[in-house]
Amino acid sequence: MGVSFSMNFSNRLVNETSPYLLQHAHNPVDWFPWCDEALDLAKKEDKLILVSIGYSACHWCHVMEKESFEDAATALLMNKYFVCIKVDREERPDLDHFFMDALQAIAGQGGWPLNMFLTPDGKPFYGGTYFPPQSIPQRISWKELLVQLHDAFIKRRSEIETQANNLLEHLQKSNQLNPHQNFNIQLPVEEQFSDLQLKKILEQLMSSADLVDGGFGHAPKFPQTYAIQFLLRHYHFFGTDEALQHALLSLKKMIRGGIYDHVGGGFCRYSTDAQWKVPHFEKMAYDNALLLMVLTEAYQISKDEEIKDAVFETVAFLKREMLDAEGGFYAALDADSEGVEGKFYVWSKNEFDEIVGTDASILHGYFNISDVGNWEHSNILFTKASLQEWSVKYNLDNLKAKQILSTAKHKLLVEREKRVRPGLDDKIILGWNALLSNALLQAALVFEQQEWEEISRKNIDFIMDKFFDHETGKWLHTYKDGKAKYSAFLDDLAYLIQALIQLHETTGSFKYLQDARSITEYLIEHFSDTNNIYFYFTPSFETDVPVRKVDLYDGATPSGNSIMAWNLIRLGIIFDQSEWKQRSYKMLKGVESTLLRYPTSFGKWGNLLLELNRGLVELAIIGKNAQKDSAGILRTLIPNKIVVFGISSEENIPLLKGRPIEQKTVFYVCHDYTCQAPTENPELALKFLLTKRVSQ
């Protein structure tokens, strides 16, 4: 058994702001943050480098810290043989992407904690994820690994250096786009992206759909919001019943499952089982943003009250637990509290009964409460029934059933607030905040919640104020304790542009479109790839990662490239920038074949293909009361619309040019700047907008 180290020891991480790095600031390991000092020291002392990457809500990161990084004997080996660097993957996703690619090339799979070993000149050659303190079948112990790698470096250094050089060459080549890739666009675009392609995407999605428990594939199950959004939009345009049914099934199974916090609202990261019952209990800002978006669209189609309730409860969670006083949203809540995963969220039967009181017995059936527990001797709250089904079973009318459920949730929430809370990662990440702003703006329109719009506007104002460095002219990635740091990544700015476009649609203010245009120009200047088609993840002025990655995959968050393709087509039309429109078409064309094979991994691209196939429809709304008079239109799901308001002045853009602003609101519905007859009737304008395919 290892020896614990005194907490009086502090390493260099004590000066960091990342909650994850600060968790390791009193390890006996002599951790560095990623910095030139550490890299230079490795060269000077001719030592191997250990880069250990994780994040504050990562359960197995905490486990490995307690077992190994807090152990003095283990730390002695690490400090003696390696220069040790700790990285928060959420602060430096560029480093995480690079080393994760390296790990997948080495091991065929990845995860966190991500432990990568580098030569003294910074080239990766070996890595893994979690290593136990003692060896177990098929997994070497951490201390044995450290000794073996050091021994190999001393005795077989040339082999390690050859391996590192080969791996780096592989990573550089694998990140290059296929030189034979087809970027040619035939016009009209609606014919280029065909109905047959959309049919193939739908068939691929449905072939992996779990028709019993919702979602796609098997355990572990992630929300796959982009795929669900595609199904909803396919139904919107084509009336495909199977698409709508599976989208709603998936969302309702999640809402009823343990992945959803029935007491406090909001969603956990993923489910460890196929039935959505047992979550990995961490709550991430971006997951809740993406789920809010797709739930809002589902409600626009279905008007389902169960979905509406989940939206309101999730927003309440975000306001209560994730919103900073300055207007930013925190990054995440940990899975663990008091060192135990899920402890904050689960209940014994006795606890539940004592808190809920007289209605406990009928609520047992709703929440699946038992004496022995439904998970590790405790009870995760989840339900297999709708409110309607439960009320019928217990002979309750719907109103009474809803009152009982609401009262019980409130009592449980009040009591839960007395518990030791999970760790909060209180850094504020630009991109995740932009996703949340976008989601709240959409929900504010649909559910007519002025407060949500105000939260979002304050959030965008906060971003514009705190994340731009006026001295250097650079956008920054993360903010904490009054300071923004690290250059912004593609995702950050792509999501921000999209949120600004949505904010114009919500408020009518043209300023937000001008901001979106300015940031787009910044991205084109600093992030464009060598072919001026896609965008690198990192800006040209940052050089501390060996490979600049072009990331096209829609993973836990959307690819910055897929969002920029969406942004460019809209801003290209609004500002009459034909090269932006063409670039968007080429971006989609370049991923076309991959999208058709793997639509769950390229979901946002699939949604863009659907929009372009149906034809983008332009809506200019002009008049002093334009925003108020168009509320009904904006509450309706029209995925392929581009909205421009002319409220106070005639802007120099095609959709507004030469159209005077009067007291009465006038609607112009157009395609490629060719417009229907203007109308003052919003219902008629909506009818034009809802045409299932824009005429050529």
- Please check whether residue 141 is in contact with residue 132, taking contact to mean a CB–CB distance below 8 angstroms: yes
- Please check whether residue 33 is in contact with residue 86, taking contact to mean a CB–CB distance below 8 angstroms: yes
- SS3 per-residue string spanning 526-555: HHECCCCCCECCCCCCCCCCCCCCCCCCCC
336 HSE (CA, 13 A, CB side): 12
- Please check whether residue 380 is in contact with residue 258, taking contact to mean a CB–CB distance below 8 angstroms: yes
- 651 compared with 599, residue with greater pLDDT: 599
**What number is the average pLDDT over the span 587-607?**
95
**What number is the average pLDDT over the span 256-270?**
97
Tokens coding 497: 């542009």
Greatest CA separation for the chain: 83
* pLDDT tens-digit series, residues 478-513: 999 999 999 999 999 999 999 999 999 999 999 999
Residue 57: the pLDDT is 87
Residue 158: the pLDDT is 96
DSSP character string of 90-154: TT-HHHHHHHHHHHHHHHS---SSEEEEE-TTS-EEEEES---SS-BTTB--HHHHHHHHHHHHH
- Please check whether residue 478 is in contact with residue 91, taking contact to mean a CB–CB distance below 8 angstroms: yes
Residue 4: the pLDDT is 42
484 forms beta bridges with: 479
* pLDDT tens-digit series, residues 661-687: 888 999 999 998 889 999 999 999 999
**What number is the average pLDDT over the span 221-233?**
97
- Please check whether residue 536 is in contact with residue 550, taking contact to mean a CB–CB distance below 8 angstroms: yes
Confidence of residue 651 (pLDDT cuts 50, 70, 90): low
Distance from C-alpha of 98 to C-alpha of 53, rounded to nearest angstrom? 11
Q: Do the strands 48-54 and 82-88 form a parallel or antiparallel pair, or are they unpaired?
A: parallel
Please tell me the pTM assigned to this model. 0.94
Residue 138: the pLDDT is 81
**What number is the average pLDDT over the span 69-74?**
96
